Structure 1
Amino acid sequence: MKRLMIGMISSLVVCADLAMAATTVNSCNRTVTFEEPPKRAISNDVNLTEMMLVLGLADRMVGYTGISGWKTLDEKMRAGVKALPELSAKYPTKEVLIGADADFFFAGWNYGMKVGGEVTPETLAPFDIKVYELTESCTHIMEKGKATIDDMYADITNLGAIFDVEEKAAELVKGYKSEIASFTDSLEKADKPPRVFVYDSGEDAPFTAGRYGMPTALIEAAGGRNIMQDFDKSWATVTWEEVVERNPEIIVIVNYGKVTAEQKRKYMMSNPAFAELDAVKNDRFVTLEYVEATPGPRNIQAIKTLAKAFSSK
């Protein structure tokens, strides 16, 4: 009987320890509980994959998706994922994730998942694949305030909790905040925030970032104002007439795809319709790479690039 009691007590202690080890995080409008850190994770897109890499999680991953079909990896990213396979050039199918025996998918709405699509947290749940959703992308499925740099910090912090690397995540976020503060405090501030337009792509009509897109947060952190910050979208198309009417002083070009940043700049500089824009008259363009303009570690460099451009005359 005594041995039986000791055995029962030991079992209860083990169960209690396991219960204490469980981690719950908020993911958009859901709460997700992890009984243990994922061991076979997959990330989608270059910026989400880089979040995993800066946390030192490559050895917990079985691959990544959604990069080569849209954009290219720079040298830094190639080195980071060299041991990992790209499982899908664009958005993965459910079969790709199941076939890789994944237990975790880090993606977002329009970053590997589509509302009502084949791959969602609900469709993956029966296969024991848990999903953490990119915070910036939550606006596609719930009410959310405009994008801020805190969205990216939240993702780093939550990934740290999920994978049991909280200290590493906290150190990264603390370092990012310190780096931004140190840099922006050293710059001469403009009398009022410069008017900024984000030019992603498109000639007939421009694709741009609205209030819920990360560029709005980057521009504000750097001391500017997105002229489309009242546009209730993350990324969407507007008209050139709206751009001309709001007359940006600076144009931020997102560099990716077949049309280069320089080709986009030349298009705007040579088109008579844009001749009276302050940004065109003064040739004030600044380029961000896709991985800098979307939520991820390189947002810090993006803010520094923008702040420097905003402070120069």
Structure 2
Amino acid sequence: MKGYFSAASAALSVGVGLLASGLSAEPVTVQSCDRTLTFDEVPQRAVSHDVNLTEMMLALELTDHMVGYTGISGWKTLSEYLREGLGELPELAPRYPSREVLLDADVDFLFAGWNYGMRVGGEVTPETLERFGIQVYELTESCIHIMDRDPVTMDDMYNDLRNLARIFRVDERAETLIADYEQQLADITARVDMEEPVRVFVYDSGEDSPFTTGRYAMGHAMIEAAGGHNIMFDVESSWTQVAWEPVVERDPELIVIVNYGEVTAEQKKNFMRRNSAFEDIDAVRNDRFLVLEYDEITPGPRNIEAIRQLADAVVDVRQ
């Protein structure tokens, strides 16, 4: 895997000066889903939820302003590069954080999302935390759970990086990262045939009914960027359950397996290989599976390299 922190590291000397000046800078305003947030000061006791959101904080080199993270070890293994980036920062909760956990850590900022650490009507939401002086920035991809929005694009991930950088007054770091990502993406898309997209199905989990990505999940944007066609493009949701019948009918040529949790990627492949109901699916018949990690297919710095893998698989299908 390529070092996706390299672009931020190259801008470190600039970013340090910006960060220092940000402590006494003018207030900044950002849009978070359907809310407008104003930050008078740089957050000093921030927490991020989930592995992909935490990787965004690391890519912008914001650990000096963090008191911890949540929602990783309960579902996923902390990888070596993530462990190294987090250093001594503690995991405050292995799964969803409670309000008590955040208050005990004297948190002043939470980077989370709907179904990424927060549930509609739950005890941890922007509204329930506001009274305690905790400001919440919501992952852009997750806004579909509380408001109408357009289908997800790669700009959603860039938007989050830019907004986080504004909040922490490290704008140049985000722009350096995004310029690098956009160049990489342009190089990748130049290799694929957008006129004849490959039919792609994302298989996250579930045997009775599969959990997959609709048009409001980052996986949809990644498939399109790689020259593919998400066969569940018409599902008006982000990550959701569907029936197997339309999967069989739409006959994917490539199946993306999301690797996380107790059921391994190989077990998911074998479930599809050994089920007679799937034997006529093009991808199963030709054993075309691509395994992506959870943090590669949810919004974050690893999306670009994952699109490269998708594009390679798409090109292989058409050869």
For normalisation by structure 1, the TM-score amounts to 0.92
Bigger radius of gyration: 1
Q: Which residue of structure 1 aligns with residue 163 of structure 2?
A: 158
Q: Which residue of structure 2 aligns with residue 14 of structure 1?
A: none
- 1:190·1:311 contact (CA, 8 Å) conserved in 2? no
Q: Higher relative contact order at CA 8 Å, sep ≥6: structure 1 or structure 2?
A: 2
Q: Which residue of structure 2 aligns with residue 7 of structure 1?
A: none
Q: Which residue of structure 1 aligns with residue 198 of structure 2?
A: 194
- 2:99·2:124 contact (CA, 8 Å) conserved in 1? yes
- Aligned-pair Cα RMSD in Å: 1.4
- 2:192·2:314 contact (CA, 8 Å) conserved in 1? no
Distance 1:49 1:34 in 2: 20
Q: Which residue of structure 2 aligns with residue 5 of structure 1?
A: none
1:106 has 2:111 as partner: yes
1:182 has 2:187 as partner: yes
Q: Which residue of structure 1 aligns with residue 5 of structure 2?
A: none
Q: CA deviation at 1:120?
A: 0.4
Q: Aligned residues: percent identity?
A: 62
Q: CA deviation at 1:80?
A: 1.0
**For 1:242, what is the secondary structure of its paired residue?**
helix
Q: Which residue of structure 1 aligns with residue 211 of structure 2?
A: 207
Change (3 A) 1:265 1:281: same
Q: Which residue of structure 2 aligns with residue 290 of structure 1?
A: 294
Distance 2:186 2:46 in 1: 33
1:242 has 2:251 as partner: no
1:252 has 2:256 as partner: yes
1:141 partner letter: I
Which stretch of the first structure deviates more once superposed, 69-78 or 105-114? 69-78
1:133 has 2:156 as partner: no
Distance 2:32 2:192 in 1: 38
Of 230, 237, 254 in structure 2, the residue corresponding to residue 233 of structure 1 is: 237
Q: Which residue of structure 1 aligns with residue 68 of structure 2?
A: 63
Instruction: Report Cα offsets for 1:220-264 as digits up to 9, x if no partner.
Output: 010101000100010111111111111111100000011111111
1:198 partner letter: V
- 2:25·2:41 contact (CA, 8 Å) conserved in 1? no
1:143 has 2:162 as partner: no
- 1:22·1:34 contact (CA, 8 Å) conserved in 2? yes
Q: CA deviation at 1:267?
A: 1.0
Distance 2:52 2:207 in 1: 26
- 1:18·1:35 contact (CA, 8 Å) conserved in 2? no
Instruction: Report Cα offsets for 1:138-171 as digits up to 9, x if no partner.
Output: 0000001111111000000000000000000111
Q: CA deviation at 1:282?
A: 1.0
Aligned length: 296
Instruction: Report Cα offsets for 1:247-296 as digits up to 9, x if no partner.
Output: 11110000001111111111111111000001111111111100001000
Of 225, 241, 244 in structure 2, the residue corresponding to residue 221 of structure 1 is: 225
Q: CA deviation at 1:219?
A: 0.2
2:145 partner letter: H
Distance 2:45 2:140 in 1: 22
Q: Which residue of structure 2 aligns with residue 12 of structure 1?
A: none
Distance 1:225 1:77 in 2: 31
Distance 1:71 1:188 in 2: 32
**For 2:255, what is the secondary structure of its paired residue?**
strand
Distance 2:252 2:23 in 1: 56
**For 2:131, what is the secondary structure of its paired residue?**
helix
Query: Which residues of structure 1 form unaligned runs of 5+?
Result: 1-16
Q: CA deviation at 1:81?
A: 1.2
Distance 1:179 1:20 in 2: 33
Q: CA deviation at 1:82?
A: 2.4
1:32 has 2:32 as partner: no
- 2:192·2:311 contact (CA, 8 Å) conserved in 1? no
